[in-house]
Structure 1
Amino acid sequence: MLNRLYFIFLLVPFLFLSCYDSNGDTEKSATLPIYQDTPYLQDYSVKYYFNSSVSPKKVFEDRNGVVQVLGKNGLYRTSAGQFLVDGTLIADNTYRPLKDKSLNGISLFQDQFVYVDDKAVLSNAWAGNLFLPHDLENANLLEPGSNFDFLISDGKELQFLSKDKAPWKGTVEDGNIIQIRYGHEANVFWILGKNSVSTFDASNNQIKTIKINNEATSFDVVGAKLYIGTQNGYFTVDSELNGKPSDLINKLPVPSITWIESIDEEIWFGSDEGAYRMDIDGDFNYYYGKRWLPGNKVVHISSGHEGRVHILTDNGLAQIHFDPMTLADKAAFYEKQVRDRHIRLGFNASLVDLKNGDVNSGRLDDSDNDGLWTSMYLASQVYRYKVTGNEEALKNCYESMEAMERLFTINDVPGFPSRSFERSGYIESLHDSDRWQHTDDPEWDWKSTTSSDEAIGHIFVYSVMAELLENDLRERAITLIDTLMGHIVKNDYYLVDFDGKPTTWGKWNPEYVNARPIMVGDRKINSSNIIAMLQTAYHFTQKEVYKEKAFDLMNNHGYFENLMRPMSEIGKAPEDADDWSKMLSEGWNHSDDEMYFLGYWGLYRYALNDTLKTKFKESIIDHWESERPEKDGAWNLLTAVCETQNFDLDEAAWYLREHPMDMRSWDVKNSHRKDLTFIEPNFRDQTTEEVLPPDERQVQRHNANMFRLDRTGGDGSEEYSAGDIWLLPYWLGRYLGVISEPRLNKE
């Protein structure tokens, strides 16, 4: 209870300051669909680790919110955990006499802890009056009945104990008792054996047994069925033990099942490789790795208060929380994450070198794409300010704009934006140290070799500022559009570095672009981006040179044909192509997707005439059609800029809802899953028919392959910023009016 309340209290000030001040204008269109931002259940994990080697058995939470874990050496309880800050499981010394008992089993009766040791079933509740002696010295299975009745077992024999009824002792046919459940409606105990399922009726001490062909590992009662787990899936049996067991169902994330627990109309499964839950539609949510669990071998699962689910693993306990939240609530949480830990000199930056995932141990990192990631975050704050009028958003705009402007002034190349800058003395520890240059100021260094994705990011955000803001930032943005595009036009469509040579990727010149075979993606992306940038420059500066250059490239150098080429024609270069073209087309370039969609803002909105606008819309939607399987929130919402009704709004909202609140780089693994439908290797590197939800794959930016299934070596050492990954699509959706203000109830 305290952990959950702490998390909610952490959020509350930001929810009311940031989420409900939505009085500004948005670009609403009656023709576009609108996602109503009503509360959904957001899951996140609070983890507790053992300090020493423990063989955990069970976990339960009593009516007071106390959580106890039973291990081989007694009881443990949770200490000090909260979201993003791991807690520990420490020895529970609350009741000193329990330390001297050989506790082997634990359960709940009337939401109170009940134990079994080598002598009795006992509890500290009810003034300690519950004490039922038994003679199963190694009893470790304990299941409460209806009225202070208990069935216990040592794995071989059964013993029934009651305050009001005579004791009973017996066994089941196969003699290997794994688990016991009680059904209040049927008023019987179900007993799972290794190769059998039995019922015990305490009213007449009768046992009914059926044999099963598959070796069982765990079971639970769900309505009129028993769900029985095995090492290769699960099957069902009628709870009356009538009829034939179902066929084995093993198209599961992990068929090797260690535990089954029915919680709130969903069925949870534990395995040696994480946990997963199956909803009423048969869909799975998979919880793997340290984003969710202290260890991947699941020992036990139980329900907690306020919708929490306890997952006990070999290495500790995970509490999976499900809190009602709107997208606006989530945005407020991410806004604080960015401001707390992800602003470096005004740039939107990653936090790296985390020790065991501790967000308080990391350092802010420089990036090749400081300008790009910051442009995406800065655009989100412009949209936010336009929608809400929030003064903090405007302050964020000013701070990041200063960093973006200094990229141009910290070097002495006219109109050339640096990749990044940092205080001097750290070059050797920075990314690509050979690209860093000294400035005239001994205090500062700057990074050269700026790329085309940086350039399109600059033009994108400056155009957003120039269009939507009405303060001095507008003129400053227009100045930078003209500064950058003036450099590119003056240098024959190249970004020319400090050494007088074009950078590796800053090339839009026809001689370079058209040297690529028509199926090579760089020919299309470079044409699309440069036309978008020239149109943007003309729109805001009204300098004829930019319009003339755009028409010249389209009419005389094939750039219109290049950018209109269908995505279905993009592929690998032929065998007789040059090595550079072959390298560029080894596979689908997801960074190109990011460049395309950021460029589409200017390509469509600032088209030089209505005919071009119609054609550009056709090209954008063609690209979007090829991207639809990825269900990327940013791509879907940037497509909505084209004023098309169909841009997969539901999938964009799904992306925003399903994105993990934990943005650390934990290892993930999905390639082993049996519930996925894999497809043959292909140019796009799409691995499965359906993309996984964001909270089941690695945290990644929009320029990565959403179909990548595994990540190893991360281990929580980096925390990504939500500024570009999440806040950009959310606030764009709010600005476009396709995501509503937060609503408490559906309308």
Structure 2
Amino acid sequence: MKYTLFILINLLGLTVFSQSKQPVYLDKPFLQDYSIKYYSDNDKIQLKKVFTDRNGNIKVLSTNGLLIPVDGAFLKAGKLKADKSYRTIQHKHLLDIGLFQNQFVFLEENSIFSNAWAGSLMSKFQLKNTKLFSAGSDFQFLVSDGKKLELINQNKTIWSSSIDEEITDIKFSDHLFWVLTKHSIHTFSIEKNHSTKVFEGEDLTAFELIPSKKLIIIGTNDGFYRFDYLHKRVLGSKVTKLPSTNITTIKSIGEKLWIGTNNGCFSISQNEKIDYYNGERWLPNNDIIQISEGKNNSALILTKSGLAEIFFQKMTLAEKADFYEKQVRTRHIRNGFNASIEGMAKGDLSTGFLADSDNDGLWTSMYLGAEVFRYVVTKSEDALQNCRESLDAMERLFTINGIPGFPSRSFERSGYIKQLADPERWQHAQDKEWDWKSTTSSDEAIGHIFVYGAIAELINDNSLRKRSIKLIDTLMSHIIKNDFYLIDYDGKPTTWGKWNPSYVNSFPKNVGDRKLNSSNIVAMLQTAYHFTKKTIYKEKAFELMKKHGYFENLMRPMKEIGYAPEDADEHSKKMSDAWNHSDDEMYFLGYWGLYRYAFNDTLKAHYKKAIIDHWQTERPEKEGLWNIFTALTGTSSFDLNEAAWYLREHPLDLIDWNISNSHRKDIEKLPENFRTQTIKEVLPPDERPIQRHNANMFNLDRMRGNGTSEHSAGDIWLLPYWLGRYLGVISPPQK
């Protein structure tokens, strides 16, 4: 694609405008965060501190001696094990650990020593019951028992003093030792042998010095202060608009300030952007003990249950797509379906199984769509083979049940009905080796038609094209033959497979199902006519639009959709008790056929208005797929930067960990509303529960089945990315 010279610069990449006047996100590397966790296998010991030395070795001080992280990798939890590297110090009772010249230094009763410098460092002192220390310069160390202070150098006590408060931390910076108590901060000058109180406050819990800015960040049990120690003044008021305010530790790493609390940790960048790390997606435990700097600006987060190392890897969206492609192919393909892993034990992928789903046809149609667009963009034979295998599964949904034109929800080998989800929906196939799932809904139907249309239009494989057109015709023939119903094995319409006017128009005009079902069935009929040229599909579509008001229904502005009126029937009230995000998914999948295969340009222009009207309503969610689907209309405004944000901010870990955000003080909560938008600004995907596109992106918490399942990236991430690449609004990776 050729780009004009008009360039818009955003924070993490570039956006240019194509010749079609649509913006294009230039895929430049960004920093992708991920966590490797190490759990303590002994809950009786207390973890105290963690550091890494110049060689990249990590050591954790505990009440049971030194520990090291072993056998950990991304998505594979490791353990904290006893450090046996120096057998000659294993008998020592270590009280504290620190760094000097990026080498480990240890405190034991009456001495400070190290294995660095050929083991020559051994500074002895007289102070009893020591608890903590800090290294200064030129092998000087300040030690404390919590009240008294002694400065030592080569077995000599140079200076001693005491403070009438409990000393909780000591640091060295700007040629000064800085001493923290619960109510004050003091400095000690080596040159002057003199201490000075520089700050007074209440409930001080942690502090960090940033010499380049002459700042101290002072933590409390309710937020933190920024203190200008050069001019001895607090900058602004106490900062409390934070994810959690009970601060336990503070550390400056690179250009970020890291803050640990008793409910997770967070980083604050120079532009005040907060990234919150909560739950076992990131941490062994939310109770943070200490944060220190790891290799390459990684963050070592020590918690009560273990250690997390949070890494930041440069990555393009294309590289992220490759990562997710492997995730899907190695773990999430079940009989050709795009499936989830369930039944895991606390995130252990080896303990889970590939699960059937009510929506196997829908999730697979979305993943299959991603592979269609990937093939068109890259001409990858691997993508084409993936299309073949998933189309095999989609095709078999029709043939396994013996009902002409009826797609099953799913199928599985026989003998397991009682172990499968919704066992009452499962039926035996004529082939005794297999069972199939009934009660197929409109969700699956629109997914089928969307992806068969994409294959038929875009893939230059004659066999795949013919099979897809046949499947379109098969499904739509069933629907028309049965008066716009999906008819199940029992000869009755399924609960949700209903597009008949008597059903659709039974809803009041402001109930969403009236608009949705009208939009979907017109899109499906247009797709069927476009590829089969059978006039019945066109005739039925115009009959629905003109005679039964489906055009008026589908064009109804989204602002009119809401609660059913008081005099409505109970079904209408039930169907409009809140905004249905599954409906959004059905709408946007349907927009492919509604807009792309419109009968004429006049209708196409109207459809464009309906799509953009819907998108305007969805904008607060920053939903990547809805934004990029909107781009198919050719509009220049579809929140491309928010779509790219969605793709960048998705975590690599798609496991359903428990996560909590409701307690946060940095989010603005909203009153209850029809759209179930809980907060003013949507949280990034890596801070909220893992969700498919049919979920509410404003969900704050997930507190069930911690680490028991893993989602596939096939529908969640790969579809919006490859659709964006196909539409040309996301560029190939840039150098």
- The bucket for the TM-score relative to the shorter chain is over 0.9
1:4: which partner in 2?
Answer: none
Q: 3-state SS of the aligned residue for 2:79?
A: strand
Report the Cα offset of residue 208 of structure 1.
1.0
Relative distance call for 1:298 and 1:244 in structure 2 (3 A) is closer
Tell which has more relative contact order, 1 or 2 (C-alpha 8 A, sep 6+): 1
1:388: which partner in 2?
Answer: 378
1:112 paired with 2:103, answer: yes
Instruction: Please give the residue correspondences for 1:553-564 in structure 2 after superposition, counting only pairs within 5 Å.
Output: 553-564=544-555
TM-score by length of 2: 0.96
Give the aligned residue type for 1:466. Answer: A
2:56: which partner in 1?
Answer: 65
Structure-1 separation of matches of 2:155 and 2:148:
22
Report the Cα offset of residue 241 of structure 1.
6.3
1:548 paired with 2:545, answer: no
Relative distance call for 1:246 and 1:470 in structure 2 (3 A) is closer
* Contact 2:187/2:198 (<8 A) preserved: no
Report the Cα offset of residue 191 of structure 1.
1.1
With 612-621 and 98-107 compared, the bigger mean Cα shift is at: 98-107
Instruction: Please give the residue correspondences for 1:465-544 in structure 2 after superposition, counting only pairs within 5 Å.
Output: 465-471=455-461, 472-544=463-535
1:198: which partner in 2?
Answer: 186
Structure-1 separation of matches of 2:314 and 2:227:
35
* Contact 2:67/2:83 (<8 A) preserved: yes
Structure-2 separation of matches of 1:578 and 1:470:
49
* 2:208 paired residue among 220, 236, 245: 220
* 1:735 paired residue among 726, 731, 735: 726
The C-alpha deviation readout for 1:543-601, integer Å capped at 9, x for no partner, is 11111111111111110111111111111111211110011001000000000000001
* Contact 2:246/2:262 (<8 A) preserved: yes
Structure-1 separation of matches of 2:219 and 2:192:
29
2:150: which partner in 1?
Answer: 159
Structure-2 separation of matches of 1:327 and 1:346:
25
Report the Cα offset of residue 194 of structure 1.
1.1
1:684: which partner in 2?
Answer: 675
* Contact 2:225/2:234 (<8 A) preserved: no
* Contact 1:257/1:269 (<8 A) preserved: yes
1:23: which partner in 2?
Answer: none
Q: 3-state SS of the aligned residue for 2:47?
A: coil
* 2:577 paired residue among 583, 586, 590: 586
* Contact 1:507/1:513 (<8 A) preserved: yes
* Contact 1:115/1:142 (<8 A) preserved: no
Report the Cα offset of residue 508 of structure 1.
0.4
* Contact 1:375/1:457 (<8 A) preserved: yes
Give the aligned residue type for 2:107. Answer: V
Report the Cα offset of residue 204 of structure 1.
1.3
Give the aligned residue type for 2:467. Answer: R
1:375 paired with 2:365, answer: yes
Q: 3-state SS of the aligned residue for 2:35?
A: strand
Report the Cα offset of residue 158 of structure 1.
1.1
Q: 3-state SS of the aligned residue for 1:450?
A: coil
1:249 paired with 2:239, answer: yes
Instruction: Please give the residue correspondences for 1:5-404 in structure 2 after superposition, counting only pairs within 5 Å.
Output: 30-53=20-43, 54-163=45-154, 167-172=158-163, 174-183=164-173, 186-222=174-210, 223-240=213-230, 242-244=232-234, 246-404=236-394
1:447 paired with 2:411, answer: no
Structure-1 separation of matches of 2:727 and 2:96:
57
Structure-1 separation of matches of 2:730 and 2:345:
37
Instruction: Please give the residue correspondences for 1:403-442 in structure 2 after superposition, counting only pairs within 5 Å.
Output: 403-442=393-432
Report the Cα offset of residue 281 of structure 1.
1.3
1:9: which partner in 2?
Answer: none
Structure-2 separation of matches of 1:383 and 1:144:
58
* 2:696 paired residue among 705, 714, 717: 705
With 154-163 and 447-456 compared, the bigger mean Cα shift is at: 154-163
Report the Cα offset of residue 165 of structure 1.
7.6
1:597: which partner in 2?
Answer: 588
* Contact 2:125/2:156 (<8 A) preserved: no
Q: 3-state SS of the aligned residue for 2:726?
A: helix
Q: 3-state SS of the aligned residue for 2:207?
A: strand
Structure-2 separation of matches of 1:514 and 1:141:
75
1:11: which partner in 2?
Answer: none
Structure-2 separation of matches of 1:641 and 1:714:
38
Structure-1 separation of matches of 2:494 and 2:234:
71
Structure-1 separation of matches of 2:128 and 2:584:
66
Structure-2 separation of matches of 1:346 and 1:242:
66
Report the Cα offset of residue 97 of structure 1.
2.3
Q: 3-state SS of the aligned residue for 1:114?
A: strand
Q: 3-state SS of the aligned residue for 1:127?
A: helix
* Contact 1:29/1:737 (<8 A) preserved: no
Give the aligned residue type for 1:67. Answer: I
Instruction: Please give the residue correspondences for 1:574-723 in structure 2 after superposition, counting only pairs within 5 Å.
Output: 574-723=565-714
Gaps of 5+ in 1: 1-26
* Contact 1:376/1:461 (<8 A) preserved: yes
Structure-2 separation of matches of 1:607 and 1:333:
36
The C-alpha deviation readout for 1:654-684, integer Å capped at 9, x for no partner, is 1111101001100010000000010111011
The C-alpha deviation readout for 1:85-112, integer Å capped at 9, x for no partner, is 0000001111122211111111111111
Q: 3-state SS of the aligned residue for 2:412?
A: strand
Give the aligned residue type for 1:662. Answer: D
The C-alpha deviation readout for 1:274-327, integer Å capped at 9, x for no partner, is 000111111211001100000110000001111211000000000001011111
Relative distance call for 1:631 and 1:299 in structure 2 (3 A) is same
Structure-2 separation of matches of 1:307 and 1:556:
65
Q: 3-state SS of the aligned residue for 1:647?
A: coil
Relative distance call for 1:575 and 1:254 in structure 2 (3 A) is same
Task: State the aligned residue count.
Answer: 715
Relative distance call for 1:44 and 1:655 in structure 2 (3 A) is same
Report the Cα offset of residue 141 of structure 1.
1.8
1:6: which partner in 2?
Answer: none
Structure-2 separation of matches of 1:433 and 1:489:
30
Structure-2 separation of matches of 1:29 and 1:534:
32
Give the aligned residue type for 1:198. Answer: H
Give the aligned residue type for 1:724. Answer: D
* Contact 2:124/2:154 (<8 A) preserved: no
User: How much identity, in percent, do the aligned residues show?
Assistant: 58
Report the Cα offset of residue 470 of structure 1.
1.2
- The alignment yields a C-alpha RMSD, in angstroms, of 1.3
Structure-2 separation of matches of 1:672 and 1:275:
13
* Contact 1:105/1:139 (<8 A) preserved: no
Relative distance call for 1:592 and 1:95 in structure 2 (3 A) is same
With 27-36 and 727-736 compared, the bigger mean Cα shift is at: 27-36
